[in-house]
Amino acid sequence: TVTADDIIRGVGATTPEFSYTITGFENDETEEELRNESPPALVGEVTFDGDAVSATEEGSYEILVVLAELTATNYVFTPASGTLTISNVVVDASGGTLRAGYDTLKAAYDAINEGTHTGEINVSIYTDLTETATATLNANGTGSTSYTSVSIIPKGNVEIGGTATPLIIFGN
């Protein structure tokens, strides 16, 4: 199976180059090994198509795998799609779920509070946010919260506003 690797990025950020993973090789064979045999036992290309190729707005988009005459001795390949997720807020962590996207700062903080992200955590804000509920980041060790540090990183001149009072609480 040739599967497009999932990508999570912020609104306005550049989409990284699409990549893929091939599974199902036998006898510890790898793509590189088969391509480097003489003559090559694996030839052809993997390209990508679908809405993800030109996506710029927040949302989830299918990354379609196109097998351009991809053939290998003793193997038949099947394409499997991946997902490009474009989010307002992206959390990167050294433990737990390493990368995820969220619509609001509150949703990102809720995930941290639930222990979804642990260790060193970076919360990148890519666009102006309108919070409709208080975004509360619990102190480390409160409930399932487990982090060594949390950095809030605005990507450009972003503003956080909303109707909640208070808007943001740290270390509750």
pTM reported for the whole predicted model: 0.86
Count CB neighbours of 131 within 10 A.
Answer: 17
Length of the chain counted residue by residue: 172
Q: Which of 44, 45, 51 is nearest to 15 (CA)?
A: 51
| Helical ranges in the chain per DSSP H | 31-36, 105-113
- Distance between CA atoms of 60 and 167, rounded to whole angstroms? 27
Instruction: Encode the chain (172 residues) as per-residue pLDDT tens digits.
Output: 999 999 999 999 999 999 999 999 999 999 999 999 999 999 999 999 999 999 999 999 999 999 988 999 889 999 999 999 999 999 999 999 999 999 999 999 999 999 999 999 999 999 999 999 999 999 998 889 999 999 999 998 999 998 887 887 777 6
